[in-house]
Amino acid sequence: MALIAMVSAKGSPGTTTAALACTLSWFQRTVLAECDPAGGDVRAGYLSGLQVPTIGLLPLAVAELRGQTGAEFPQQLVDLDSQQPGHRLLLPGLTDPVQATSLAGSWGRLADFFSSLESIEPAYDVIADCGRLTTSTPPWPLLHRADLVLLVIRATSLRTISPAVPAVARLRQELTTHARGAGSLAAVLVGSEYPAREVEKRLQVPVLGELPIDVRAAGVLSDGGRLSGKEALLRAAVSLEADVRRHVATYRTSLMTSVEARRG
Ligand SMILES: Nc1ncnc2c1ncn2[C@@H]1O[C@H](COP(=O)(O)OP(=O)(O)OP(=O)(O)O)[C@@H](O)[C@H]1O
Ligand SMILES: [Mg+2]
């Protein structure tokens, strides 16, 4: 498994919280790359108690233009877990949405770099928080290259599910036109008032799991504080890892099968 892109539609808050919950709880070494063109949230939120220098995505993109991505990458990371150094890392996002325009030409190469981290020793998965699809500059090349595009849907009512319908249509069209089809597309629900089966039927997209509404844990992930690891939100994120891995493995197998079938 390599690159997982998380995105949301209108009216579905929870992407950064979900991405951070997964980064802090998955077994596999993980980098959370804040690729939301509207700006990163973690520095001023979960890490607000720390003085985080202005490192991260923008300096990495500058290094990428000089062909120095690999050498600069370790300098641009914040370690999120003092108990297991190097296991859970953060690439902080932009501090101003204006910076997103300068990244437009770099998303594809940055995505290729993130994907390559699966093959180094030790290997890393990258969870890219890509923000809302409704921004004017979604990081499309990154979404095209992702092994999994995970649409985060607040499943509390028809009002929050409905904007996911055009979002799925747009993602499907993008992935079919610019990537290897829409097999990389799936959803994760936040809240379970609206059953996963119903969402799958309505959107025609597999739902890989559900994260509960957990106001306390989400509050810590958004604004800082202490977590025990036993919170319902973190436990659900732990379970999601296996489903995500299964989905990526199935998708990759289907790609290989179709390549072999074409070869004849
Ligand atoms: N599972 C959850 N349970 C309870 N509250 C949640 C949950 N997930 C997110 N929230 C709350 O919703 C708000 C928005 O969450 P978050 O920052 O993750 O949304 P987002 O999709 O990243 O938003 P944006 O697109 O603005 O970056 C925060 O106050 C957060 O604590
Ligand atoms: Mg966010």
CATH code where residue 111 lies: 3.40.50.300
pLDDT in tens, 169-179: 999 999 999 99
pLDDT confidence of residue 160: 85
> Which residue from 222, 231, 233, 234 has its CB within 8 A of the most atoms of ligand 1, so it is best to mutate?
222
E-assigned strand segments in 38-105: 78-79, 88-91
In 3D, which of 189, 206, 219 has the Cα closest to residue 247?
206
Question: Containing H/E element for 264?
Answer: none
Q: Which atom of ligand 1 is nearest to the CA of 12?
A: 21
pLDDT confidence of residue 206: 97
pLDDT confidence of residue 1: 63
Helix (H/G/I), strand (E/B), else coil: 253: helix
183-216 burial code (b ≥16 CB/10 A, e <16): bbbbbbbbbeebebeebeeebebebbbbbbbbee
Global pTM exceeds 0.75: yes
Residue 21 has pLDDT above 70, yes or no: yes
Residue 259 has pLDDT above 80, yes or no: no
pLDDT confidence of residue 255: 86
| Residue 132, domain extent | 3-263
Split at pLDDT 50, 70, 90, the class of 156 is confident
pLDDT confidence of residue 235: 98
Strand partners, 188: 152, 209
Which residue's C-alpha comes closest to atom 9 of ligand 1?
14
Domains contained in the chain, number: 1
Strand partners, 3: 126
The ligand 1 site (C-beta within 6 Å) comprises 8, 13-17, 36, 41, 131-132, 190, 211, 213-215, 218-219, 222, 233
Residue 166 has pLDDT above 90, yes or no: yes
Ligand 1 centroid from CA 67, angstroms: 35
Ligand nearest to the CA of 154: 1
pLDDT confidence of residue 74: 97
